[in-house]
Amino acid sequence: MNPLVKPRPRRRARYAACSLLLLVASASLAGAPAAADGSPARSLPSPAAVKLGASDASQYWDLTVDLENDYRVFARFQITNQGPGENNATAIGHVVAPNGKATKFRNGRLESGWTLSKDRLDLDVGKSHFDMHLPRYSLRVNKSDVRIRLAFAPNALLRAPSRVTGKRYTVDLLALGAAAKGTLRLGSKSNPEMPVTGFAALTHTIAKKDETDLARRRIELVSQRGTHPLYVVQFLDDDQDKTSWAAWLEPRCDPAFDPKPFPDVKPASGETDTRKAESALRRCIRVIHSSLKIEVEGRRATKGRGKRGEKDPYWIPPRFRVTTSVPRMTSTPPAAPTGPVNALDGQVTTGARLLKYKALDDLPGPIRFLARLSTRPMRVWSVASFDVTLPPSLDSEPKSIQTIQSPGVAIVSFLNPVTRP
């Protein structure tokens, strides 16, 4: 039995359009991990799948991989109660080559057609597999035109505050700038597999009700190259209210910054085998800074019109201004705020579009028409250039302020169109 299933009567089937949308397209918009034996670490988020209660609830894991040879991998594994039955699963992703060509892979299964491990850390959906057991998470895809073998060690393990996401929305940052390595093969099965290395970011999102009721747009700015990987996210709801959050990591002994990815880490004396991987991860975790008051806004561009003359509802701003501030604390008692100081400041400029994906485009015409009555999702990935100044650590001098000047990616997920400012 699927470990997410509760013994209860079957709900009546939903519209066929919703079923096909989720099972064929699967792109509707929307810390220590468990130990090696699957048991979660205390007080920190776990990447394990959760039991979904509402009939329209869902959860998904988004993987963003930036490879050294300019290949990029974007993948989403999703479990949803939408559609007929419960706990349907989909896996959909793209590999973008240096020349801009995108190769798509996808799998979709009803509840009885896919496998979830008892500890809820290993998803097997058709020919797409995602394993979140320590010490290394792994992605495996076995399709005729794409074969992927990637592994990385989770290193972020942080939950976005509920004041940002809302009580019915949970977003966990599980990896950011984590060393990734493996092999990649595109095209014919006779093509050789390329060894690849790079950096991986992973988030786990849980929507306790239909995600279109929780957010209208989600912007994610991800910089993974360099010594200070940065993740910025902004949510926009139907009332045009925006909430934002950012996290960045400082290197300590993270495997991502070791000359040899995934170095062998010997367990401390007396550790049990079941806690060995977790202990190694704890010793290599980096310091994480986060703040609630982060403003992420796209500046106005030159006027642009859609095909029918209206403002483009899927407009991607050319730049994002990223700012926040925290009180400056005195170094002697009483430690009281003495005025604001910029804690995070800079801009992220978007460049060439890497990928645009409309889930409904995969549906037959009549079904696409019915699905568009309730949702018109689209996701856009663009090259991004980061020029952002980070504050010093709480235990360091102001001179230690760091500046991120590196490439990255901007991911804009529309659950429904958004009026351009």
- Domain edges within the chain: 16-414
Cα–Cα–Cα angle for 217, 222, 225, nearest 5°?
170
Coil, strand or helix: which one is 47? coil
Q: Where are the alpha helices (DSSP H) in 26-99?
A: none
pLDDT in tens, the chain (421 residues): 567 755 444 333 333 333 323 233 332 222 333 333 333 333 467 899 999 988 888 999 999 999 988 999 999 999 988 777 788 899 999 999 999 999 999 998 888 899 999 999 999 999 999 999 988 999 999 999 999 999 998 888 788 888 888 889 999 999 999 999 999 999 998 999 999 999 999 999 999 988 888 889 999 999 998 778 999 999 988 888 888 888 888 765 444 434 333 333 343 444 444 455 555 555 555 556 555 556 665 554 444 444 443 467 888 888 898 887 554 433 334 344 444 445 678 899 999 999 998 876 665 565 555 556 667 889 999 999 999 988 765 444 445 667 888 999 999 999 888 877 6
The CATH code belonging to domain 16-414 is 2.40.370.10
Distances (CA, A) of 328 to 269, 287, 366, 388, 398: 42, 20, 59, 19, 11
Beta-carbon count within 10 A of 229 CB: 28
Q: How far apart are CA 349 and CA 320, in angstroms?
A: 6
Q: How far apart are CA 420 and CA 410, in angstroms?
A: 17
Q: Specify the amino acid at residue 381.
A: W
The pLDDT, as a whole number, for residue 368 is 55
Its pTM stands at 0.79
Alpha-carbon torsion angle 184, 187, 192, 193, nearest 10: 10
